[in-house]
Amino acid sequence: MILVTGSTGFVGSHLIRRMCKDGLPVRALVRHAGKAQELASLGAEVVQGDLGDKPSLARACAGVERVVDLVGIIQEAPGVTFQGVHVEGTGNLLQAAKNAGVRHFFYQSALGTRPGARSEYHKTKWQAEELVRGSGIPFTILRPSLIYGPGDQFTLRLADIIGKSPVLPVIGSGKSKVQPIYIDDVVSCIVKAVTGEAFLNEIYEVGGPEQLTYEEVTRAIAEAMGIRRPVVHMPLFFMRPAARLLETALAKPPLTTGQLIMLEEDNVCGLRDICEACGSTPVKFSEGLRRFIRKK
């Protein structure tokens, strides 16, 4: 049995669908009962709980051989912090997995995770990785770059902004690089890692086949939508105070200072890991966009 946490999220929902299609025994941990029916209809066993509820984690891990931990947040909200979700939540799940005799713990981290990272997101992901590595359970850690595809909030939100704006807005210089990886390629990596033994006690940094600047990403999305507009850069000296103001005024701001920090950094890796993990060459960004972005 394979337990998947974060099963109703972007990556989790695609993974559950793929695993059920492949006939793998899957158990999904869900926080809200209302989301259980769809997963159950796919063939997944469903357990209600969350990473802060230790008894629910004990139930979820009972009889499980492998755990896939996909839980993560990209911004904090009242009562939901990076420390609480990434560090404390992962620690709780590791303890439950260890108590249940789990043989393999797969953890989805993020490219850019490292000691001394500037953003709280990456700092806490590093702390979670250290817990995984020190747990005594055989592990695999995946550090993907920007994941995109049907249902991803980054690409669809940017497409919505592009569709409503007279220009193509780019924060800062737009020269920082990212390596977008299509959701199906990420899912293939996870399935291959979880169902085999070749990836035990390894860390894989994965991205798509192209290293693109954020400006190139914005232009590619616009092109997929059939839109041609001039690029306008929004200076960081303006965006930083704007983000701080939004954080003060709103419980869920559309932009945070932490996200600005990550936008300033390159988020790229080599191609070897993704080819090895997936067993094939990943999808190019323009091709992936054509699969789910609609023309205006």
Tell me the DSSP string of 95-126. HHHHHHT-SEEEEE--TT--TT-SSHHHHHHH
Which residues have C-beta within 8 Å of that of residue 246, sequence separation ≥ 6?
Answer: 253, 254, 255, 256
Mean pLDDT for the stretch of residues 113-126: 91
The owner of tokens 């899957």 is 26
pLDDT value of position 177:
94
How far apart are the C-alpha atoms of 98 and 258, rounded to whole Å? 33
For the chain, give the number of residues.
296
**pLDDT at residue 274 in the model:** 63
Return the pLDDT at 57.
96
Task: Show the beta-strand stretches assigned E in 109-194.
Answer: 139-144, 147-148, 168-171, 177-178, 181-182
The continuous run of DSSP H or E covering 2 comes out as strand 2-5
pLDDT of amino acid 109: 96
Instruction: Supply 104's token pair.
Output: 């393999």
Q: How confident is the model at residue 272 (pLDDT cuts 50, 70, 90)?
A: low
Task: Output the six-digit token pair for 98.
Answer: 């260890």
Q: Is 144 helix (H, G, I), strand (E, B) or coil?
A: strand
Q: What is the rounded average pLDDT of the residues 224-235?
A: 90
Q: Classify residue 246 as exposed, middle or buried by CB count within 10 Å of its CB (0-12, 13-18, 19+).
A: middle
Given this model, what pLDDT does residue 269 score?
A: 86
* Residue partners of 272: CB distance under 8 A and separation at least 6: none
Backbone angles phi, psi at 66, to 5 degrees: -135, 140
β-pair type (104-108, 139-144): parallel
Which range (36-45, 185-194, 250-259, 261-270) has the least confidence?
A: 250-259
Domain ranges of the chain: 2-144, 149-180+208-268+283-296
**Interval 232-267: pLDDT, tens:** 998 878 778 877 887 677 777 776 777 777 777 888
SS3 5: strand
Which one has a higher pLDDT value, 37 or 9? 9
pLDDT (0 to 100) of residue 267: 86
What is the C-alpha separation between 67 and 294, in angstroms, rounded? 35
145 — alpha (psi -120 to 50), left (phi > 0) or beta?
Answer: beta
What integer best gives the mean pLDDT of the chain?
89
Residue 41 has pLDDT above 80, yes or no: yes
pLDDT of 140: 95
* Residue 243 vs residue 41, higher pLDDT: 41
**Over residues 100-122, mean pLDDT:** 93
Q: Averaged over 178-183, what is the pLDDT?
A: 95
Give the distance, in angstroms, between the CA of residue 252 and the centroid of all CA atoms in the same chain.
19
- What fold characterizes domain 149-180+208-268+283-296? UDP-galactose 4-epimerase; domain 1 (3.90.25)
In angstroms, the Cα distances linking 164 to 4, 169, 225, 235, 256 are 37, 11, 12, 20, 21
Looking at residue 144, its pLDDT comes to: 94
Provide mean pLDDT across the span 26-39. 86
- The angle formed by the CA atoms of residues 100, 104 and 272, to the nearest 5 degrees, is 165
Q: What is the DSSP string of 68-85?
A: EE----SS-BTTB-HIII
pLDDT digits (tens, 9 = 90+) for 166-177: 999 898 888 999
Q: How confident is the model at residue 273 (pLDDT cuts 50, 70, 90)?
A: low
R_g of the chain computed on alpha carbons: 19
Q: What are the beta bridge partners of residue 202?
A: 140
Domain 2-144 has CATH 3.40.50.720: yes
